[in-house]
Every structure is written in C-alpha cells, then in structure tokens.
C-alpha cells in the first residue's frame, strides 16, 4: 500500500455525506470524471426530500462508494501537491 494513502474516511454526519455527493456532482458536471452507464442509472434514481436535502433511502451502495472514493482521491491529490510544494521550497 502506498504510504501516503490512508484508510477511507467515511462520513460521520449528514452534512459530510451530502458534501461528498455535491463534490461528485461537481466533478461530473465539470467533466473531470466519466462514469459507466450503471452508475448513471444509480445517480438518476437519487431523490431529494421536500426541504431539498438528499433522501438517504434512494442512495445505493455503488453511488455511495463512488462519492466517498472521489472525495478521498481529491484529498489525496491535495496532500501530494502540498508535499511537492514543500519539497520545492526546501530545495532552495
């Protein structure tokens, strides 16, 4: 296992859960990720409550895993960029 990787940080609150889904939506809308048709079907089945919040009962396992993974990879990428920046500054 890569020493920089850590175990999956799963959401502990509703806000964290919704943050991951909003991040997934943004990544898809900006074209930074392409998805298989099976995940697209799962995303289309997501429902929202009358107050605009995500209906947890409409989230299947594949969609939840994809949202958590994309969020984790973005955090991993930021960590690598920070390490590279520190290495660059340290070389001077």
pLDDT in tens, the chain (92 residues): 556 667 777 889 999 999 999 988 888 888 888 888 888 888 889 999 999 999 999 999 999 998 998 888 887 665 555 555 555 555 55
pLDDT at site 86: 57
∠ CA(72), CA(77), CA(80), 5° rounding?
A: 125
Decide if 45 contacts 61 (C-beta within 8 A). Answer: no
């Amino acid at each position: 296992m890569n020493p920089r990787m850590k175990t999956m940080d799963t959401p502990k609150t509703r806000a964290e859960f919704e943050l991951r889904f909003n991040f997934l939506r943004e990544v898809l809308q900006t074209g930074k990720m392409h998805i298989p048709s099976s995940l697209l079907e799962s995303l289309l089945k997501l429902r929202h409550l009358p107050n605009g919040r995500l209906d947890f009962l409409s989230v299947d396992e594949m969609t939840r895993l994809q949202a958590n993974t994309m969020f984790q990879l973005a955090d991993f990428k930021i960590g690598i960029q920070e390490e590279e920046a520190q290495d660059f500054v340290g070389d001077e």
